[in-house]
Every structure is written in structure tokens, then in C-alpha cells.
Chains A and B, each alone.
Chain A
Amino acid sequence: MKRFGDFTAVDGIDVDVWPGEAFGFLGPNGAGKSSTMRMIGCVSPPTGGTLRILGKDPTRDGPAIRARLGVCPQLDNLDPELTVQENLTTYARYFGIPRKVARERAAELLDFVQLSERAKGKVEPLSGGMKRRLTIARALVNEPDIVLLDEPTTGLDPQARHLVWERLFRLKRQGVTLVLTTHYMDEAEQLCDRLVVMDGGRIVAEGSPRELIERHSTREVVELRFAAESQEAFAGKLEGLGERVEVLPDRILLYVSDGDTAVADVHARGLTPASVLVRRSSLEDVFLHLTGRTLVD
């Protein structure tokens, strides 16, 4: 639990993360993801409850736990004045790694995140994706048991995101435990073995991406668009089709097990939507269903 004065950022969450697992915290802005990550990172003591990281108590063994964590913060805090390599070697020293080992490891890690050619260059001119990869490399400099990634691909272009995902996937295969926060559903589906959906400081759902979709959504979703001004008018005529009908300002969603049958049923009722899209249900449907469509800022 984490309180800041009267404000409760994280209000009773109960999770276990197993070694070698990729675990995700999903949630809209303000759900308490970053506060949770800061508590796991041992820089923010919990104001209530029990927290154990690698079997240790963060309020007592903070430095010892942090020695075995790799932290990739939401906003990069690299030193723009130093070279790419120096950013890694100076950081390695905080973990008591000898200079020679630090240089060797920096070279390996820069190779891993495909930045070897920029080793001697300054950080400042690097692109957002390169800086992110460097921050991830820096988080790995102490060969951590757990890597904490707070929104690892927010703000990156698609190529950069896929490269980061691919590298994180390799880490996972090497047996590193990944704990990440994200509000990208595709990211969670790609990377997480298990995840929790957080809203208002609480957990609203827990499971693997597949399980969550099965439990909180249907197999397929039919998106119908009607040419008329208001979609509302058609909602009544669709009642009884599928498990759930959701009316949005611009379209109607039918949550069904079989999309094609549902479309046939729609036509059988004499309705002719301007456009029809049948797609598989995604984590995004689960997420929006659980946390609502209202914008949270």
C-alpha cells in the first residue's frame, strides 16, 4: 500500500512474481503502476502491507536488493554529456564492478542493444529509441536477477518498439525475471506471461493475456458502423445478439463467440450496416471493459 498524505496511490495489491517470469502491470494513467514499481525498486517504502523482493525486506535491505535489480525508469536519466560507453561504465561502478570488467560488460551490452557503433559518441544526439536501448543496457550492467521496466516503449516509433521487444524477449529466454508496466495492450500480449490490470490503485483482474481475454471478453468482436447520425437507434434492434452489445458514438460492438454467424444474424434482422469488421478479441477489449472508456488524466 502507498499513501501520499490523504491520497492513496496504491491501495492493497496482492501479487506474487515467480523467478524467470515476465510479469506486467497494466492500467490507465494514475492507476498506481509507477508507485508500485518504485516500491519494488526499493526507493519508495510502502506505507502499509508486506513487500518482499528476492526474499528480503526493502525497508531494511534496500541497498542489497537494489544491487540485484536493474531499473529502466519511465523517463530516461542518462547523462547527455558523457559518451554512450561512459554512461554504462560509471553506472557499473555504483555496483562495485571493477573498471576492467565494467568496460568489457559495456562492450557486450552495447552489442546486445545494437549501439556498438555509437560507443564513443555522446548521448545527447541519440534518437529516443537509441536512448531507451541504452537505458535498458544500463539496467543490465549488474547482471540483475530482476529487471524493472516502467513503460519501456512509450514514445517510441514502431521499429524501435519491435527492437526493444525483441531484446526483452531474449532476456526473458535467458531466465531474467521481467517486471514491466505498460498501457499498450500489444506490448502486454507480446511480453507478459502473466499480468494484472490495475485501476485506482487496486487490481481489477489477474491472469495470462489469454485467460483474461477468455474471462472478461468473448472470442470475437464484431464492429458495426451504421450510416445514420446516431448509432443508438440500432442498438435496440441488435439486442440478444452475442453476450454483450456496446454502443459507442461512432460504432456498435458485438461481443460474440462466432463473428460470421453474428453478422449473418444482423443481416437476417434486416439491418444493413455501412461497414462490418469481424476481429479477434484483444487485451484492449478486456482493458477497456475493466477500466472504462472515460479518459483519465
Chain B
Amino acid sequence: MAAVFEYWLVTYKRVWRGSALSTFVLPLLTVLGFGLGVGEYVDDGLGGVSYLDWIVPGLIASTVMQVAVFESTWPVLSNFNWVRTYEGQAATPMRIDDILGGNLIYVAFRALTGAAAFILVALAFGALHSWWALAVLPISVLLALALAAPTFAYASSVSSDSYLALLLRFAVIPMSLFAGVFFPVESLPVGLRWLAYASPLWHGVDLSRAATLGVPADWSVPGHVLYLALWAGGGYALARVRFKKRLVV
């Protein structure tokens, strides 16, 4: 598994300069645009803090989701169909768990670096209220796995990349809009509220917000962790079945 992770790190080394820049620039732009720009019109802030401080943890979780889903869609399809990296790995002593696990660890690593960069930007804007903000790092890893594992299962099941665009349109964009990133889920009509509660992103947002603001979470912390772990574990089991079906034929 370590050898597979190492391979992905070597591939990352070739693009990291470009990606490192966007890792910092993107949070900066979103903080400026939403936090300061939109925040200007939110007079009393939210939950007793300024809109900027309130929105930052949501933006971190949302960034983690984007990285996790992006790295689990087109790359996975390519590793099966175009570059056929997995086929090459399957011919070596590497087992399905090594191939799948090593790649997932890499996705978690990418999400982690994204979250860490965002925390630095948030620190510069004084948006962090507590040392608990450091807990955002493990939360981001868990959230990334909760989203990446099922996405691996989906991407290894579809026949063409047009299905990946569907995933972005019907899962990723709705989640980033309605899962408590920009406004509290309680403002939604009751039916939609339950959809937001069911989404992994909301659980990551609520945990991250409790951490950066140093306040209690809206829902049970062990409950959040367990729910995200279920998505990660269930997604892994499904992805494992799919990988086995495609690599061992």
C-alpha cells in the first residue's frame, strides 16, 4: 500500500507547483469574495460571530469535498481505461487493497494539504477562534475518505466520463450550496433540511465549524464521526467489489 501511495506522490511531485499555487489562491479568493464581500451585507454576523469567521470552516470542508471528489472521478476512470495504471499495479505483488487503499490515502493526503493551506489563510484573516482549529486536519481526512471512497466505487462502475459530470451536477454542487456552508441548514424548508443532514458534507461542516470557532457542535460529535466513518467504510467495501471485478477477471 505504501508503494502505491509513493507512486502517487511521485506523480504529484510533477504537478505540485501549479497545484500548490491554486491551493492557496483559491481559499484567498473565496475568503475575500464570500467572507468580506458578501459578509459586508450580513450586518450582525451569524451565530454570534462575523460572517467571515462563520463561513471559513464551511469553505474548508467544501474545498476538501472538491479535492476528494475531483481526485476520485476522472483520475480513477483514467487509471482503468486510459493510462491503465491499475492494470500495471495488478501485475505486481500489489493486492486489490494495496491498489485501492494506496490511491485513497493519496486522495486524503491531497485533501489534507488543501485544508492545511486554507487554515493558514484563515489564520491570516483572524478567522480562527480556538486551538481546536487544528482538529480541522483530521476532520478533513475523515470527510475526504467519506466522499472519496463511494466516489471511487461510482467512478469504477460507470462506462464513460459523462456520468462523472452528473455526479458533480446532482451531488457535489447541491451539497456545496445547501449543506450549511453558506447559511445554516435550519433556513431550508424541512424536506430539504433532511437531505442536507444526510449529506456527508454537512457533518464535516458542522465538525469543522465547532473546531475553528471553539463552540459545541450542533449535533453529537461521535455521531458525526461515526456517520462519516460509515460512508468511508461502506464506500470502500463497494469500491473494493468493483475494483476486484475489473482487475481480477
Interface residues of A (CB under 8 A from B): 4, 38, 41, 43-45, 62-64, 66-67, 69, 71, 73, 75, 77-82, 86, 90-91, 93-96, 142
Contacts and interface: CB of A to CB of B under 8 A. Distances in A.
Contacts of A94: 3-4, 7, 89, 92-94
24 contacts: A43-B91, A43-B247, A44-B249, A62-B95, A64-B93, A66-B91, A66-B93, A71-B91, A77-B83, A77-B85, A77-B87, A77-B88, A78-B88, A79-B11, A79-B83, A80-B83, A81-B11, A81-B15, A90-B3, A90-B6, A94-B3, A94-B7, A95-B92, A96-B93
Given A44-B248, A82-B14, A73 B7 contact: no
A96 B89 CA distance: 13
A81 B14 contact: yes
A41 B249 CA distance: 12
Interface in B1-59: 3-4, 6-7, 10-11, 14-15
B84 A77 contact: yes
A96 B3 CA distance: 8
A91 B92 contact: yes
B85 A79 contact: yes
Contacts of A41: 91
A43 B11 contact: no
B10 A82 contact: yes
Interface in B203-249: 247-249
A43 B248 contact: yes
A46 to B, nearest CB: 12
A267 B249 CA distance: 58
A211 B87 CA distance: 37
A35 to B, nearest CB: 9
Nearest to B90: A43
Interface string B78-113: 000001110111111111000000000000000000
Give the bracket for the number of chain B residues in contact with chain A.
Answer: 20 to 34
Contacts, number: 65
A41 B91 CA distance: 7
A169 to B, nearest CB: 23
B92 A75 contact: no
Contacts of B95: 62-63
B111 to A, nearest CB: 21
B10 A66 contact: no
Contacts of A66: 91-93
Nearest to B6: A93
Max chain A Cβ within 10 angstroms of own Cβ: one of B88, B89, B92: B92
Contacts of B90: 43
A80 B146 CA distance: 30
Contacts of A90: 3, 6-7, 10
B187 to A, nearest CB: 45
A142 B4 CA distance: 16
Contacts of B7: 90, 93-94
Contacts of B6: 90, 93
A195 B149 CA distance: 45
Contacts of B83: 77, 79-80
A81 B16 CA distance: 13
Nearest to A122: B14
A93 B3 contact: yes
A66 B6 CA distance: 20
Nearest to B249: A44
A62 B90 CA distance: 10
Contacts of B93: 63-64, 66-67, 94-96
B3 to A, nearest CB: 4
A73 B87 contact: yes
Contacts of B84: 75, 77
Nearest to A90: B7
B205 to A, nearest CB: 34
9 nearest interchain CB pairs? A94-B92, A77-B84, A93-B3, A71-B91, A63-B93, A77-B88, A90-B7, A67-B93, A94-B3
